[in-house]
Every structure is written in C-alpha cells, then in structure tokens.
Amino acid sequence: AQKITQTQPGMFVQEKEAVTLDCTYDTSDQSYGLFWYKQPSSGEMIFLIYQGSYDEQNATEGRYSLNFQKARKSANLVISASQLGDSAMYFCAMRDKLSGSARQLTFGSGTQLTVLP
Amino acid sequence: KAGVTQTPRYLIKTRGQQVTLSCSPISGHRSVSWYQQTPGQGLQFLFEYFSETQRNKGNFPGRFSGRQFSNSRSEMNVSTLELGDSALYLCASSPMGVAGGLNTGELFFGEGSRLTVL
C-alpha cells in the first residue's frame, strides 16, 4: 500500500496568494515524522518543514506551515504569499519505524507548483 | 558551510558499462544515504552508510552497491548498466548518528548526479 499520497500532480497559484498542497499518509506506527521538500529544476532537494507525530502544534517555518490533521492522516503544506521563486516540485515524505532507519524516507509522487505573475 | 557535493553532475553511459558516483557530505555529518529518482518510480531509497558501514538497504538488485570512507565521503557503484538505471541519483547527509531518533532532523541533499544510459 502506498504510504504517501499526493493527489495534485500540478498546481497553479497567482503571485502573492496562498496555496495548499495536499498530502495524506498511511502508517500503523504511533511515532513518525513528516517532511516537505522542495525540488527546483536544479535537482537539489531543499528541506522546508518537519512535523513530528507527537507535536501538538502545527509546524511553521516562515511562509511555510503544515496543516497536520492526525486523525485524517493528512499533512498539507500551506505556502503563504507565493513568490515566483516558489515554482518547483514539492514532495511530502515520511519516516516511521517501518522505514528501516531514521534516514530512510518514503516520498510521495510530488506536486509541480507554478506561480503565475 | 559547504553543502553536499555530488560528482559528476551529468554523465552518459551505455548498457553493460559500470558507473561510480561520488558524494561528499556536509562537514561533520557522518551519515550518508542515497536515493534514486526516476519519472516512473519517483524517489526511492537505495542505501545508507554510517561509520563506513552500510546500515540499511532499499529494494534494489545487487548491481547497486556503495561504500563510505573514513572521512564520511561515499561512493555508489552501478554495474552492468541497464536502460532503466537512467535516473537522478541523490545523496543526502545527516548529522544524526545511528541512535538518532525518528523524529529528529532533516536530510541535506546534494544536487544529484544525472545518469543517462544509452
């Protein structure tokens, strides 16, 4: 069974507007971590934000926030005030005890975000 | 602080050849992991090294191998290349030790080595 699902292959957003990228996950563990990475055309994966399963508050990092709904097993990324430089592929990822190690992430298929001027 | 450095950035090989990719982690990071990214399969975990030992391996054939040196630099090797090995190979380093918890820290990725097999 797929562990990370990103249902939006592509998204468009107007510059300066907010956008939400969806991510649902599946795990039987109580302890797990959720990540969002950004991949521009250069190929490098850039860490954006992290949410631990026991964190009571939604994670925030600057313009990025994670809308964590544990019961629904969703971890949506919200980007506020979109900028042209936000155009990239965005990946949701998870690691849990079944991952094998703390460095083994399971990635979703990604969402290609395009910010329009 | 220098980031993760991967070499070469681009390379073209033919079927049956072998290839070696190199990864220099961030200074002080002792864990290196490798991922393969293809349009069809997405991002998949290859293996992880810590203290010169392979700690974990993904579901890839034995043609894929790697090693880590005492300075934490890592190499991965793919032998008898197949067309399906064409991919972006990403290396990630982490400061976490073997005992690093699940809910701590992120991976720091390089820009990858883009391999094309003809």
The pLDDT tens digits for B99-117 are 444 445 678 899 999 999 9
Convert the pLDDT of each residue in A40-65 to its tens digit. Answer: 998 889 999 999 888 889 999 999 99
Query: Which of A93, A95, A110 lies at the smallest CB-CB distance from B102?
Result: A95
- Chain A residues 44-73 within an 8 A CB cutoff of chain B: 44-47, 50, 52-54
Range A97-111 average pLDDT: 80
Q: Cβ of A40 under 8 Å from any chain B Cβ?
A: no
Upstream peptide bond of B8 is cis (omega within 30 degrees of 0): yes
Q: Distance (Å, rounded) from C-alpha B79 to C-alpha B5?
A: 22
B111 contacts A44? CB cut-off 8 A: yes
Q: What is the pLDDT of residue B94?
A: 85
DSSP reduced 3-state for A107: strand
Please give the residue of chain A at the shortest CA–CA distance from B113. Answer: A43
Average of per-residue pLDDT across B59-74: 95
Q: What is the pLDDT of residue B103?
A: 45
| Mean pLDDT in residue range B67-82 | 96
Rounded CA gap, A117 and A71, in Å?
A: 37
Task: Inform me whether the pLDDT recorded for A2 exceeds 60.
Answer: no
- Chain B residues within 8 Å of chain A (Cβ atoms): 31, 33, 42-43, 45, 48, 55-56, 58, 88, 90, 92, 94, 96, 100-112, 114
Nearest to B103 among A52, A108, A109 (CB): A52
Euclidean distance between CA atoms B89 and B85, whole angstroms: 10
Chain-centre distance for alpha carbon A30: 19
Question: Min CA distance, A22 vs chain B (Å)?
Answer: 17
Q: Residue A100: how many CA atoms within 13 Å on its side-chain side? A: 16
Q: Is A109 on the interface with B (CB under 8 A)?
A: yes
